[in-house]
């Protein structure tokens, strides 16, 4: 049985269990969502009313911009604290402290700073992904083999050339891990920020809850989780395989 077939069978089994639970609770309350009702709401929202299509477009726009900025800011911070001992001992300590603070905690302050505008949501998303990218970039820089650095110095490389031509290429696996975590944290932060923000999947989910449309709530949850699966399996997993193949890690794993 292939991996794809196993997943299909697994999710079909989950739907069957969901339907069985629904039939039990349907006798007690009308609020419990049914699987087929949720799929119907998903279809209506995407292809008839367009409510979910618009919300999805807004959320994707926000995560693309926020994720890109998180990669840039986190990458530059990671390089700085990775190559500078002083920066690592000072700024690095601040990053470690900040990464333990859930990004959604910043939302009340962001709402005040940006007066409840789009900037508040972007601010939270960027913070959600920046620290993970920073720490993984730092780890990648710190773990570069000293032999490579000495060889580069022997060849006359400047410090800047060592960073860009030696350290960064050697840190690609760690950079990929940082990007993957930055995406995951940023996506979660976006959904949380949109719950009390404006527009997007998160706000639409709250509106559906306010109107007691639990099947639409589940339909939005399906979209959120599906986006996560698509990004993980169709983007990051493929990039990871290419990186592992190029760096020779796949050979080590098979030994």
Q: Within a domain: residue 12?
A: no
pLDDT at 1: 64
Q: Within a domain: residue 21?
A: no
Q: Within a domain: residue 250?
A: no
Mean pLDDT in the chain?
89
Domain range for 101:
55-243
Rounded mean pLDDT, 6-20: 90
Q: Within a domain: residue 8?
A: no
- Nearest CA among 109, 102, 92, 108 for reference residue 127: 102
255: number of Cβ within 10 Å: 4
Q: Within a domain: residue 254?
A: no
Rounded mean pLDDT, 152-171: 89
Reported as a single tens digit per residue, the pLDDT across 24-50 is 877 676 778 889 999 999 999 999 999
Token duo for residue 3 = 């991996």
Q: Within a domain: residue 110?
A: yes
Reported as a single tens digit per residue, the pLDDT across 53-95 is 999 999 999 999 999 999 999 999 999 999 999 999 999 999 9
Total domain count, the chain: 1
Reported as a single tens digit per residue, the pLDDT across 189-228 is 999 899 877 789 999 999 999 888 999 999 999 999 999 9
Q: Within a domain: residue 155?
A: yes
Q: What's the CATH number where 81 sits?
A: 1.10.3720.10
* CA 193 – CA 105 distance, rounded (Å): 10
Q: Within a domain: residue 215?
A: yes
pLDDT at 202: 92
35: number of Cβ within 10 Å: 18
């Amino acid at each position: 049985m292939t991996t794809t077939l196993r997943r299909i069978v697994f999710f079909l089994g989950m739907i069957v269990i969901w339907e069985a639970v629904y039939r039990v609770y349907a006798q007690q309350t009308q609020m419990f969502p049914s699987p087929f009702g949720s799929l119907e709401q998903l279809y209506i929202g995407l292809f008839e009313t367009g409510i979910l299509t618009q919300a999805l477009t807004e959320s994707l726009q926000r995560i693309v911009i926020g994720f890109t900025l998180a990669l840039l800011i986190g990458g530059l911070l990671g390089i700085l604290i990775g190559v500078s001992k002083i920066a690592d001992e000072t700024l690095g300590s601040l990053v470690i402290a900040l990464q333990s603070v859930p990004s959604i905690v910043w939302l009340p302050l962001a709402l005040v700073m940006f007066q409840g505008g789009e900037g508040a949501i972007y601010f939270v998303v960027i913070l959600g992904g920046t620290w993970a990218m920073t720490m993984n970039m730092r780890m990648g820089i710190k773990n570069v083999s000293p032999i490579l650095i000495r060889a580069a110095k022997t060849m006359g490389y400047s410090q800047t050339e060592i960073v860009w031509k030696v350290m960064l290429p050697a840190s690609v696996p760690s950079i990929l891990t940082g990007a993957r975590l930055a995406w995951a944290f940023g996506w979660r932060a976006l959904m949380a920020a949109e719950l009390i923000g404006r527009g997007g999947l998160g706000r639409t989910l709250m509106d559906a809850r306010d109107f007691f449309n639990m099947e639409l709530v589940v339909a939005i949850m399906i979209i959120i989780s599906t986006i996560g699966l698509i990004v993980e399996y169709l983007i990051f997993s493929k990039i990871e395989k290419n990186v592992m193949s190029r760096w020779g890690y796949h050979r080590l794993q098979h030994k």
